[in-house]
Structure 1
Amino acid sequence: MSRIDTTKDFVPVRIAILTVSDSRSLSEDKSGDVLVARLLEAGHELADRRLLPDERDQIADQLRTWCEDSGVDVVISTGGTGLTGRDVTVEAHRDVYEKEIDAFGTVFTMVSMQKIGTSAVQSRATGGVANGTYLFALPGSPGACKDAWDDILARQLDYRHRPCNFVEILPRLDEHQRRK
């Protein structure tokens, strides 16, 4: 089904981590810690890390800032993907997306179903692309971040992963903005 092509070199990507929470600080951010540890262990670079409250405009502004930053290839947010009134991360992501990666949410739900059963329907994980940058919104639990990284993102952010991966098409994400 999938494999690592050992004839190719690993290509690190620069990843920014955003935690969305009204109640946590960076020092209490276990989900962000999980993502940082995993991306560094995989050989990627931590481009930036922030924590913001559940405020749609602030989240979208930070996403846009990172999408304009040539030092950021991927943004992963954690938190604010649920169903309560303060959960606005998905809407903020969609305010920024040029294209949504529809299958990301579907695959995340499939992975979650194996771990938490039908409770997976309460997550609105999403992925998209804007200005040549990948954007992923994950639930705020450390377990959900582990599952998303271990079962989806670790593979798709590995240039050697076959049959295909996000990294190999990264240079082409903004080709529509270049002159011909």
Structure 2
Amino acid sequence: MAHDASAPRRFVKIAILTVSDTRSLETDTSGSFLQQALEQEGHHLADRKLVIDDIYQMRAVVSTWIADPEVEVIITTGGTGFTGRDSTPEALSPLFDKHIEGFGELFRQLSYDEIGTSTVQSRCLAGLSNNTAIFCVPGSTGACKTGWNGIIKQQLDSTFQPCNFVQHVRKKSV
């Protein structure tokens, strides 16, 4: 886990989507954590929305962001479990040009230390669409912390070596 101290750090524009049938923006602790964490790192919040767990509402919002040149990264929280309405993987994986298979695998490995075998019920995923990185994490604030602190934070640090996702997203002046 090396950093290239000689390279200038590039910050990205990130949109956050919370998927929930019960939360509002005021009670969305997971989305709030992600917003605070990305801003603390120096990244920019491009947009933040909340939708119910509906495949077509999720696709509509995420598709708009994928097409928006001002959005480089999307983080979704919620809808990755096994309940009847959890449908984030079904909604968003068809939008991916490339799947980031290792994201879900690594998330579950990190999560195992926190919640044991219950981590197998997490269907978190990630992919690239139109040069936009998309990370889908579970809806609990704890899971958002695991995903951000354990994976996403480093992968959105342009100085993180040997590789990171900043090199794969649109380059925008900030």
TM range (shorter): over 0.9
Give the Å deviation of 1:169: 2.7
Letter in 1 for 2:110: V
Letter in 2 for 1:121: V
CA distance in 2, matches of 1:92, 1:99: 15
Give the Å deviation of 1:84: 0.8
Partner of 1:74: 73
Partner of 2:110: 111
Indicate if the aligned counterparts of 1:60 and 1:95 stay in contact, CA closer than 8 A.
no
For normalisation by structure 1, the TM-score amounts to: 0.92
SS in structure 1 at match of 2:48 = strand
Indicate if the aligned counterparts of 1:31 and 1:141 stay in contact, CA closer than 8 A.
yes
In the alignment, structure 1 residue 38 sits paired with structure 2 residue 13: no
Could you list the per-position Cα deviations for residues 4-36 of structure 1 after superposition, in whole angstroms to 9, with x for gaps in the alignment?
221111100000000000001000000001100
CA distance in 1, matches of 2:9, 2:148: 17
CA distance in 2, matches of 1:8, 1:114: 34
Over the matched positions of the two proteins, sequence identity in percent amounts to: 47
For normalisation by structure 2, the TM-score amounts to: 0.96
CA distance in 1, matches of 2:168, 2:158: 9
Indicate if the aligned counterparts of 2:132 and 2:170 stay in contact, CA closer than 8 A.
no
Could you list the per-position Cα deviations for residues 94-130 of structure 1 after superposition, in whole angstroms to 9, with x for gaps in the alignment?
1211111111100111110111111111100100111
Letter in 1 for 2:41: A
Give the Å deviation of 1:136: 1.1
Could you list the per-position Cα deviations for residues 146-180 of structure 1 after superposition, in whole angstroms to 9, with x for gaps in the alignment?
010001000000000011111123259xxxxxxxx
In the alignment, structure 1 residue 93 sits paired with structure 2 residue 82: no
Unaligned runs of at least 5 residues, structure 2: none
Considering only aligned residues, what root-mean-square deviation do their CA atoms show, in Å?
Answer: 1.1
Indicate if the aligned counterparts of 2:66 and 2:130 stay in contact, CA closer than 8 A.
yes
Letter in 2 for 1:42: E
Runs of 4+ in 1 over 4 A off after TM superposition: none
Aligned residues between the structures: 171
CA distance in 2, matches of 1:4, 1:115: 27
Partner of 1:176: none
Cα distance, 1:48–1:150 mapped onto 2, change above 3 Å? same
Letter in 2 for 1:87: D
Partner of 1:164: 163
SS in structure 2 at match of 1:6 = coil
Indicate if the aligned counterparts of 2:79 and 2:139 stay in contact, CA closer than 8 A.
yes
Please identify which structure carries the higher helix content: 1
CA distance in 2, matches of 1:118, 1:22: 26
Please list, as runs of the form range in 1=range in 2, the aligned pairs for 1:42-61 lying within 5 A after superposition: 42-61=41-60
Unaligned runs of at least 5 residues, structure 1: 173-180
